[in-house]
Amino acid sequence: MQVPPFSLSEQIQELGAALDQAVLEVLRSGQYIGGATISRFETDFATACGVPHAIGCNSGTDALILALRGLGIGPGDEVITASFSFFATAEAISAVGATPVFVDVEESSYLIDLDQLEAAITPATRALLPVHLFGRPVDMERVCAIAERHGLKVVEDCAQATGASWAGRPVGSWGDVGCFSFFPTKNLGAAGDGGAITCRDAELAQVIRELAVHGMPRRYLHTALGYNSRLDAIQATVLNVKLPHLPRWVKHRGAIASQYHEHLAALSGVALPEAGPEGHSWNQFVLRVPACPAGVMACGGEASCTPSADSAAFGLPQACCRDWLKQQLQEAGVSTIIYYPIPIHRQPAYAELGYGPGSLPVTERLCTEVLSLPIFPELSGEQQQRVIEVLRAVLAQPLIAA
């Protein structure tokens, strides 16, 4: 049995007739940009996120850029965020002319360390950009309290956390803005790129809406240098079909995560992700391989390991134990993904910021240990059982001599 890390086949089969009809209606309407389909999605998504305003855009990356621009953040400003995230988190900060300031994450949660975040605030800091990584929400009550003490804006990166909540309140409703991605692999995925910005302030929503259409409050009047970043009607109609199913899909993801926790908890050689508080949406189930399992790789890890290309090139710790496990699972038909092998602060694009090896030790170590197991709402019980059995078998048999 081959088990993919993610699959849309079952979802497309379930919703195929509704998707076909919705897309065909848009094609026949001739209204591909703007219109009622877009308005409906924005209204319904805002309601789902517990805010009065949602603005559709071209991607999650554009959502971050538009949000930062809407808040007036630009050259000379600093924005504090995590380096353990997808590159777009920091790229958007740089795209508006501001400077990303990276702080380390907590090993237990993979989320930004809020003690270090507050310590990193300087007179140039204008905003905090917490990332709800892998679907686990950051403690937004604490983030907002820090922001209020220092007079800062809060931009939530919700790209992997659609449907997640903190303290019973949806992500994207806590900060000044929330930024979402509808990339096909996300909890709520379009049939291509798509994104949205959520906010409570009507004036800010209007500014962001205008920036997304060339800084244009009305046709052919341009009051700012904006972007061409619109959610098109075909993507919106796909999202309209899928949105009502989101709570059920998030519940299924949680059930899969619970099964992993129940059946893998006693397994030596790997560290499971914390279940965390209620509200985790489990976009990914990311475990760690902190050391080579005793009796499986008797070398204990580093002494006899051949450095991976990333470890050698970017001054990261060895990743041989994790890489070995990934290969063993792949050979047994279980596909996994690494999120993320190189931290943002060590990427060549940010070399000028001067973050050397060891500058964010937890982040750098996690990048060599993390491995994402298959998880998606339609993952069958048989498929999940296969993942569990293979992982147990691989970690129980001695394969490499001392």
Burial of 180 (0-12, 13-18, 19+ CB in 10 A): buried
Q: Residue 309: pLDDT band by 50, 70, 90 thresholds?
A: confident
The least confident of 10-14, 15-19, 201-205, 310-314 is: 310-314
**How far is it, in rounded angstroms, from Cα 71 to Cα 88?**
18
Angle between helices 381-396 and 246-264 (to 10 degrees): 30
**How far is it, in rounded angstroms, from Cα 107 to Cα 145?**
23
- What is the overall mean pLDDT for the chain? 94
Residue 251, pLDDT score: 98
- pLDDT above 70 (res 295): no
HSE toward the beta carbon, residue 130, CA cutoff 13 A: 37
pTM, to two decimals: 0.94
Count the neighbouring beta carbons within 10 Å of the beta carbon of residue 119.
Answer: 10
Q: Map tokens 């007036």 to a residue.
A: 72
Quote the percentage of the chain above a pLDDT of 70: 94
- pLDDT above 50 (res 299): no
Q: Residue 252: pLDDT band by 50, 70, 90 thresholds?
A: very high
Average pLDDT value for residue range 98-121 = 98
Beta bridge partner(s), residue 79 = 100, 127
Quote the percentage of the chain above a pLDDT of 90: 89
- pLDDT above 90 (res 101): yes
Residue 318, pLDDT score: 75
The answer to whether residues 135 and 282 touch, using CB atoms and an 8 Å cutoff, is yes
Most confident listed range (123-132, 266-275, 292-301): 123-132
Give the strands of the sheet with 78-82, arranged side by side.
53-57, 195-199, 177-181, 153-157, 125-129, 78-82, 99-103
**How far is it, in rounded angstroms, from Cα 66 to Cα 88?**
13
The token duo for 98 is: 């501001």
Q: Map tokens 């279940």 to a residue.
A: 275
Residue 396, pLDDT score: 86
Expressed in angstroms, the distance from the first to the final Cα of the chain is: 32
Residue 36, pLDDT score: 97
**How far is it, in rounded angstroms, from Cα 111 to Cα 61?**
19
Provide the b/e sequence for 124-134 (b: ≥16 CB within 10 Å). Answer: ebbbbbbbbbb
Residue 310, pLDDT score: 73
The answer to whether residues 288 and 370 touch, using CB atoms and an 8 Å cutoff, is yes
Q: Which residues contact 276 (CB under 8 A, 6 or more apart)?
A: 109, 136, 137
Beta bridge partner(s), residue 78 = 99, 125
pLDDT by residue (tens digit) across 20-61? Answer: 999 999 999 999 999 999 999 999 999 999 999 999 999 999
Look at residues 143, 153, 134, 173 and name the one whose alpha carbon lies nearest to residue 370.
134
CA angle 110, 334, 401 (to 5 degrees): 85
Using alpha carbons, list the distances in angstroms from residue 399 to 8, 182, 287.
35, 41, 21
In 330-394, at which residue ranges do the beta strands (DSSP E only) sit? 370-373
Q: Residue 304: pLDDT band by 50, 70, 90 thresholds?
A: low
- pLDDT above 80 (res 333): yes
**How far is it, in rounded angstroms, from Cα 144 to Cα 151?**
10
Q: What is the DSSP string of 206-244?
A: HHHHHHTBTT-SBTTB--S---B----HHHHHHHHHHGG
pLDDT by residue (tens digit) across 259-268? Answer: 999 999 999 8
Using alpha carbons, list the distances in angstroms from residue 206 to 42, 46, 80, 95.
13, 14, 25, 21
**How far is it, in rounded angstroms, from Cα 41 to Cα 60?**
16
- Long-range pairs of 299-302 with CB within 8 A, sequence gap ≥ 24: 299/400, 299/402
Residue 401, pLDDT score: 40
Average pLDDT value for residue range 154-181 = 98
Domains, the chain, ranges and CATH?
9-244 (3.40.640.10), 246-396 (3.90.1150.10)
- pLDDT above 80 (res 313): no
